[in-house]
Structure 1
Amino acid sequence: MTLTLPVTRAVTPEPATIGELGRMLARLEWTLLDFSRRELVAGALAAIPGGNVRFHYVVEGAVEVSGGDSPLRLAAGDFLMLPRAGAHRILATEETVLASGELEAATAAGVPFVLALPELLVACGFVVREPHMGPLIETLSHEYGGMRAGTCVMASRIATIIASAAVRAWAENGCAPDQWLVRVSDPHIARALAAMQQSPGEQWTVDRLAHVASASRTVFAERFREVVGDSPSRYLTGLRMDQAKQLLGDGRLSVGEVALRLGYGSDVAFSRAFRRHTGTSPASWRRESAMAS
C-alpha cells in the first residue's frame, strides 16, 4: 500500500503558539553535513543510509520513499524531513530531480527540538507555501562543496533557513500534534499537561498540578498561561468537554456515567459545563450526533 499525502489546510495558530515556535526557531541552528542533487530516470532506485536528520525536496517529478510501514509518495514541491533517519530507499516514479541533505543540530537547544519532531515531517506543497524556498535550495546546490571562503558556514545557514521554514509550514498546515512545542520549551509544564490528558476526570487543582510540574503555585500558573495560552482550569475543561463528546457519541454510557467519569459531582454540574462550552445540552448533542452519523 502506498501512503499518499493527505490534503492539509492552513490553520491560524494561536498567538502563544506563534510566539513559542518563533522563539524555538530563533534558537535552532543546523550544520549541513552532506548535500546532493540527483537526476533520476523513471524507475531508478536510490538507497539512502541512516543518518542524523535527513531531508529530501522534490524539485521535479515524483518519488516513493520506503523504509517505514508504508511507502510515502512525494510530488514536485514537497519537502520531507526525517529527524531520526534510518536507512530508506527512494524510487523515482517518473523522471525526477531530487535535492537531499543531512543535518545535525548545531546547538544544545536543538537536541530536544529534534527529539520532539515526528519520525516523518512532511511539508506538502512546500514550494507553494514558501515560494522563495525553491530558489534558496538551488542556491544551496551551488554553495555546497564550493571552494570560496566560508562556503561551509554559508551552506549551513541556508540549510537552517530551509529546515526552519519546513517546520513552520508543517506546523501551520495543522500537522503538528497538540502541545508538541511544550515538550521542547518547558518539560515541567509538559508533565502537568500529560497528567491532565491521561486522567481528565481527576480532581486536579492548581496546587496538585504545580506539584506535578515541580514548581510553586504562582510560578506554575503564570508559566502555564504563558506557554499554553490559557489557565489550567480552562484547559482542563476543554479536555473534559472533548472527551465528553467522544463518550456521548459512542452511546454506551449514560449522561450520568459520563459526568462521573470526567470528575463532575452531579449530572447538573456536568450539563451546565457542557452547555456553557458547546451551547447545547449533553442529551441534545448526543441526539444530533446520532442523526448526523
Structure 2
Amino acid sequence: MTFDPAALDDVLSSLSVRTGPARRSVLGAGGLHPLVPGHVTLIYVVEGEISADPRDTLACDLDVEAGTASRVDGSRTLLAGDAIVSAGHQPSVLHSESGARIVTVQMDLDWPRAALPLPSLVLVGGFAALEPAAAALAAELGTCPVDEEGVRLGDSIICRTMVTAVLLAVIRAWAHSTCAPHGWPRRAQDPFLERVAAAVIDEPGHEWTVDTLASLGAMSRSVFAERFRSEFGQSPASFVTGVRMARAKTMLGAGHSVSETSRELGYTSDEGFSRAFRRHTGTAPSQWRARHRDEVAS
C-alpha cells in the first residue's frame, strides 16, 4: 500500500497516550493472561512463548522475517522479541503452553481527528528485529519501582515516554503493512477542511455549528457536510464531540473538576456534559476521573 509519510508523522505526533503501570508477568506452563476491554494494551514477550486466538475478532499478523502481513486465521504463537497491541474492543485471552515472561501496559489513547483504525489485535512477529531500539525499551518496561521509597523524581514521566515510544513503533509497523486501511494515513487534501479541523482542535469549547464550520471552510452547508464526511469519515458534529471528549479526558486526568471541564468545553450544564461523556466513553466523567487518579497512585 502507499501512504503519506508526512501524514504518518502527523498521526504519531498527535497521539496523546495516558499509561497505567507497566507490569512484568510470569506465566507457567498452561498459564493464561486476560486482556480486558476498554483499554489499549501493549504486550511484549521477553522470554518463552504465548499464543493469541482472535476467534471472530479482526486481527492483523505481521511477520517481519517473512515480510508478510495478513488477517489472522486461527491461533498465532509469538516468541521472545515479538509484540502485541490489543485495541481493547472486546475481551481476549493469551495463553502459554510452555511458559513465558511478558510485559504488559494498559493505556488510553486520545487522538482528536478520528478513532485510530487499529484492528482488535496487531501481532508483530520479529518486532525486535524490525525495531531493535523500541524492543530494548520494551524489555525494560515494568522495572520502574512502584514503592514510594524506590521512586525517583521523573520515573513516571520516563516510563510513560518509554511506553509511548514502543507503542508508536508498533503502530508504524502496522501502518506499513497491508493490514492497514488503504491510503491510511493521509492528510486532508482540502486546505479549507484542514483549517476547519484545526480551528475546532484549538477551540473545542466554541459554539460550533455546521453553519459556522461551513462558513469557516468557505463552502455551503450541504457541500461542506458532504466533503467533511468524505474526508474525515464522520459528520462535523461527531468530529467536534470527539475533540471535546479527548480534551475532557486530558482535563479530568490533570485534576480538573467535572464542572470546570464542562464549562471549558462549552456545555451549558454538567448534566449535558456527563451524558455526552458517558455516550462517548461508557463511563461517567466523575468515575473516569476517580479511576485515573487510582491508576496514577498505584
* 2: CA distance, partners of 1:179 / 1:170: 13
Q: Which amino acid in the other structure matches residue 114 of structure 2?
A: P
Q: CA distance change for structure 1 residues 112 and 215 in 2, over 3 Å: closer, same or farther?
A: closer
- 1:49, CA displacement in angstroms? 2.7
1:122 aligns to what?
123
Partners of 2:40 and 2:85 within 8 A in 1: yes
Establish whether residue 137 from structure 1 lines up as the match of residue 138 from structure 2: yes
Structure 1 segments of 4 or more deviating over 3 A?
Answer: 185-189, 210-216
1:58-137 equivalences in 2 (<5 Å): 58-66=45-53, 68-69=55-56, 70-105=74-109, 107-109=110-112, 112-114=114-116, 116-137=117-138
1:291 aligns to what?
none
Q: Which amino acid in the other structure matches residue 108 of structure 2?
A: E
Output the aligned Cα RMSD. Answer: 3.3
- 1:128, CA displacement in angstroms? 0.7
2:282 aligns to what?
none
Q: CA distance change for structure 1 residues 214 and 177 in 2, over 3 Å: closer, same or farther?
A: closer
Partners of 1:62 and 1:94 within 8 A in 2: yes
* 1: CA distance, partners of 2:154 / 2:37: 28
- 1:174, CA displacement in angstroms? 3.3
2:205 aligns to what?
none
- 1:167, CA displacement in angstroms? 0.6
- Identical columns (%): 24
Q: CA distance change for structure 1 residues 160 and 55 in 2, over 3 Å: closer, same or farther?
A: same
TM-score scaled by length of structure 1:
0.53
Q: Which amino acid in the other structure matches residue 124 of structure 2?
A: A
- Partner of 2:50: helix, strand, or coil? strand
* 2: CA distance, partners of 1:188 / 1:58: 42
- 1:39, CA displacement in angstroms? 1.8
* 2: CA distance, partners of 1:24 / 1:93: 37
Partners of 1:58 and 1:98 within 8 A in 2: yes
* 2: CA distance, partners of 1:187 / 1:112: 16
Q: CA distance change for structure 1 residues 188 and 74 in 2, over 3 Å: closer, same or farther?
A: farther
1:1-293 equivalences in 2 (<5 Å): 14=2, 17-66=4-53, 68-69=55-56, 70-105=74-109, 107-109=110-112, 112-114=114-116, 116-143=117-144, 145=146, 147-182=151-186, 186=188, 211=223, 214=226
- 1:214, CA displacement in angstroms? 4.1
1:254 aligns to what?
none
Q: Which amino acid in the other structure matches residue 129 of structure 1?
A: L
2:242 aligns to what?
none
- 1:62, CA displacement in angstroms? 1.3
* 2: CA distance, partners of 1:36 / 1:95: 17
Q: Which amino acid in the other structure matches residue 23 of structure 2?
A: S
Q: C-alpha offsets along residues 35-67 of structure 1, whole Å, 9 cap, x if unaligned?
A: 211122222222333231012111222111246
Greater RCO, CA 8 A, separation 6+:
2
* 2: CA distance, partners of 1:128 / 1:173: 16
* 2: CA distance, partners of 1:37 / 1:76: 14
Larger radius of gyration: 1
- Partner of 1:103: helix, strand, or coil? strand
Q: CA distance change for structure 1 residues 101 and 187 in 2, over 3 Å: closer, same or farther?
A: farther
1:236 aligns to what?
none
* 2: CA distance, partners of 1:63 / 1:187: 42
List alignment gaps of at least 5 residues for structure 1: 1-12, 190-209, 225-293
Partners of 2:45 and 2:102 within 8 A in 1: yes
Q: CA distance change for structure 1 residues 188 and 101 in 2, over 3 Å: closer, same or farther?
A: farther
Q: CA distance change for structure 1 residues 151 and 68 in 2, over 3 Å: closer, same or farther?
A: farther
* 2: CA distance, partners of 1:94 / 1:141: 22
Q: Which amino acid in the other structure matches residue 143 of structure 1?
A: C
1:204 aligns to what?
none
- 1:169, CA displacement in angstroms? 1.3
List alignment gaps of at least 5 residues for structure 2: 57-73, 192-221, 233-298
* 2: CA distance, partners of 1:215 / 1:42: 54
Q: Which amino acid in the other structure matches residue 140 of structure 2?
A: T
Partners of 1:53 and 1:103 within 8 A in 2: yes
Flag the structure with higher helix content.
1
Q: Which amino acid in the other structure matches residue 178 of structure 2?
A: G
- 1:77, CA displacement in angstroms? 1.8
Q: Which amino acid in the other structure matches residue 99 of structure 2?
A: E
